[in-house]
């Protein structure tokens, strides 16, 4: 029990990186715990055993699960609200979305190598594959990610832009919003099955600014306000009204501009929320 509890935070974060879902990550860690209970006394290296079980269970779930994206709608990963240790690898919403391009095996190898800093021999043992196969899988993963938008894993830059973005929204300042957004910026929103949201990405500073100001004016009550929080390891915004969480907004930032804007309004996946009717 002591060995498992010591490993649980690391295992949960690993499962989340692989799945993009906090609930699925908890299920995978619970299943790994059940496997551990059956063989714990005979395990010499608990960390290696548990890492292997969590990875394999997560990969199996990726292979069998239906695609998250609903027909004609967009999908965002769950917000990760736990503190992230200094020096932790990129856990941003933008990166998790980019990882959706990968096959389950590619995602596992990429996460184990880039986020967990394991060597290819260790990865091969976890996945029960040859070292050469894992190296090839990693090369294919990198090729699949090439060309995708990548943002800075930089808390200080993000905090500055988050504060300026919140102020621009509160002041209904179209010009300030446009200035903050990069030329190729995109907004992705996910309202789940209960909240209206844009069915396609919104592209460019002008359209994004108009969308945000229009949605806030039409659908949010007068007491709607942003507060800063740490989400996915970076400064972000939680939009609240009437004591309820209505939005979680995370940003992808680079070069002093906002390139990716991710708006989660799904009441079933918002932290500390009750159901709301519309974005």
Last residue of a domain, one of 145, 174, 194: 145
Q: In what order do the strands lie in the sheet with 234-241?
A: 202-203, 181-190, 257-264, 244-254, 234-241, 225-231
Residue 189 phi, psi (nearest 5) = -125, 150
pLDDT of amino acid 279: 41
Low-confidence stretches of the chain (pLDDT beneath 50): 69-71, 273-279
Domain total in the chain: 2
Nearest residue to 208 via CA among 256, 155, 248, 168 = 168
Q: Are residues 203 and 134 in the same domain?
A: no
* 173 falls within a domain: yes
pLDDT of amino acid 66: 58
pLDDT of amino acid 44: 84
SS3 142: helix
What the block records as the tokens of 44 is: 């010499």
Q: What is the pTM of this model?
A: 0.92
From residue 158, how far is each of 79, 230, 252, 258, 265 by CA, in Å? 16, 11, 8, 9, 21
* 150 falls within a domain: no
* 228 falls within a domain: yes
CATH of the domain at 79: 1.20.140.160
C-alpha–C-alpha distance, residues 79 and 90, integer Å? 14
Q: Are residues 179 and 45 in the same domain?
A: no
* 279 falls within a domain: no
Last residue of a domain, one of 100, 118, 145: 145
Q: Are residues 67 and 90 in the same domain?
A: yes
Encode pLDDT of 172-220 as tens digits.
999 999 999 999 999 999 998 888 888 899 999 999 999 999 998 888 8
* 32 falls within a domain: yes
Place of tokens 């200094």: 86
* 274 falls within a domain: no
Q: Are residues 123 and 168 in the same domain?
A: no
Residue span of the structural domain in which 175 resides: 155-264
CATH of the domain at 205: 3.10.450.50
What the block records as the tokens of 106 is: 């590619």
Last residue of a domain, one of 120, 145, 170: 145
Q: Are residues 101 and 133 in the same domain?
A: yes
Greatest CA separation for the chain: 64
pLDDT of amino acid 219: 86
* 64 falls within a domain: yes
* 278 falls within a domain: no
Q: What single-letter DSSP state applies at residue 242?
A: T
Q: Are residues 65 and 197 in the same domain?
A: no
Encode pLDDT of 23-38 as tens digits.
999 999 999 999 988 8
Q: Are residues 51 and 128 in the same domain?
A: yes
Q: Are residues 110 and 21 in the same domain?
A: yes
């Amino acid at each position: 029990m002591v060995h498992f509890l010591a490993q649980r935070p690391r295992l949960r974060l690993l499962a989340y990186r692989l799945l993009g879902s906090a609930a699925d990550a908890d299920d995978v860690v619970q299943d790994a715990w059940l496997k551990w209970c059956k063989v714990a006394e005979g395990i010499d290296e608990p960390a290696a055993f548990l890492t292997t079980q969590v990875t394999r269970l997560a990969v199996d779930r990726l292979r069998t699960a239906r695609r998250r994206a609903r027909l004609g709608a967009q999908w965002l990963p769950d917000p990760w609200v736990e503190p992230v240790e200094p020096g932790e690898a990129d856990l941003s919403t933008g990166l998790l979305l980019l990882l959706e391009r990968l096959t389950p095996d590619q995602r596992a190898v990429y996460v184990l190598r880039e986020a967990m800093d394991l060597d290819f021999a260790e990865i091969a043992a976890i996945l029960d594959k040859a070292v050469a196969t894992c190296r090839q899988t990693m090369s294919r993963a990198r090729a699949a990610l090439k060309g995708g938008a990548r943002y800075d894993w930089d808390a200080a830059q993000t905090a500055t832009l988050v504060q300026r973005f919140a102020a621009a929204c509160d002041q209904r300042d179209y010009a300030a919003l446009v200035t903050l957004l990069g030329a190729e910026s995109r907004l992705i929103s996910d309202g789940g099955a209960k909240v209206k949201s844009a069915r396609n990405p919104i592209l460019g500073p002008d359209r994004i600014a108009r969308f945000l100001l229009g949605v806030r004016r039409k659908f949010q009550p007068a007491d709607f306000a942003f507060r800063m929080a740490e989400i996915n390891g970076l400064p972000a915004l939680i939009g609240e009204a009437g004591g309820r969480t209505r939005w979680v907004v995370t940003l992808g930032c680079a070069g002093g501009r906002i390139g990716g804007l991710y708006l989660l309004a799904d009441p079933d996946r918002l932290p500390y929320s009750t159901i709301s009717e519309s974005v």
